[in-house]
Amino acid sequence: MRGSDSAFVERITHVSYGGKADDVTTPDGCWDIVVMRHRGRVAILRTGVITSPVRLGYQPGDEYISISFKPGVFMPRVPGVEMVDKAHVLPTPSTRSFWLEGSALEIPTFENAEGLVDRLVRGGIIVRDDIVDGLVMGRPKAATPRSVQRHFLRALGVTSKGLEQIHRACRAVDLLQQGRAPADVAVDVGYADQPHMSRSLKRLMGRTPGEIARKP
């Protein structure tokens, strides 16, 4: 996994599997474009924000590259509310290209993923919502609460509160995996109490604090 210089990208991830594995993807508040190689075949997926764990099985030799976009970034012709908890397989006319929004695009590698992002930006396929981006970055723009929620649903498919719940759960997971006591973590990340944190982590991440601490 690596960061990116692109203002539109949260992170870029590459995972390859040397053996059979059952893996779990958990919510992180991002939507993704994923290059999946499964049993020698390539598939390009556009996945929306997820709100619960997704379990996937992998075979030896499988791999994927995931471009995770920042919360304020979205596709105006496919609003986030239409993508949440969904994955769409994009057409791949060859092993080197795929179609998105009427454009033929080169399948990216882990190293050149930003090239694809630049093409998406230039073509207007992805844009950035300043209201969502400003609130997430701690620089809120002037807008009514109703307008804010409308922008969040259009860009992400979840409300600002829903995104904050996901981000808080992610912070809790990080601290628990570092060995922090659950009671301290609950206070530090802003849960009402430890049972509140336990319910939230079970719903969003599929594991209790004890299970997270035992198995990063």
The last residue of one of the domains, among 128, 150, 179, is 128
What pLDDT digit, counting tens, does each position of 103-116 carry?
A: 999 999 999 999 99
**What is the structure's pLDDT at 216?**
54
Whole-number average pLDDT of the chain: 94
Give pLDDT, residue 114: 97
Which residues constitute the domain of residue 182? 160-214
The rounded distance, in Å, linking the Cα atoms of 147 and 137 is 18
Q: What are phi and psi of 59, to 5 degrees?
A: -110, 160
My answer on whether 42 and 82 are in the same domain is yes
Per-position DSSP letters for the chain, written without gaps between them: -B--S-TTEEEEEEEE-SS-EEEEE---S-EEEEEEEETTEEEEEEE---SS-EEEEE-TT-EEEEEEEPTTEEBTTB-GGGTTT-EEEEP-SSSSEEEETTEEEEPP-SSSHHHHHHHHHHTTSSEE-HHHHHHHTT-PPS--HHHHHHHHHHHTSS-HHHHHHHHHHHHHHHHHHTT--HHHHHHHHT-SSHHHHHHHHHHHHSS-HHHHHH--
Q: Clarify whether residues 169 and 80 are in a common domain.
A: no
| In a shared domain, residues 115 and 42 | yes
Whether 93 and 31 map to the same domain: the answer is: yes
Same domain? 29 vs 122: yes
- Domain total for the chain? 2
* Residue 141: predicted pLDDT: 86
- In tens, the pLDDT along 145-174 reads 999 999 999 999 999 999 999 999 999 999
Residue 83: the pLDDT is: 95
pTM of the model: 0.92
Question: How much is the pLDDT for 51?
Answer: 96
**pLDDT the model gives residue 195:** 96
Structural domain includes residue 155: no
Residue 158 confidence (pLDDT) = 96
Same domain, 173 and 104: no
Residues of the chain with pLDDT under 50: none
Domain identity same for 119 and 193: no
Residue 197: give its domain's CATH number: 1.10.10.60
Domain stop point among 109, 128, 147: 128
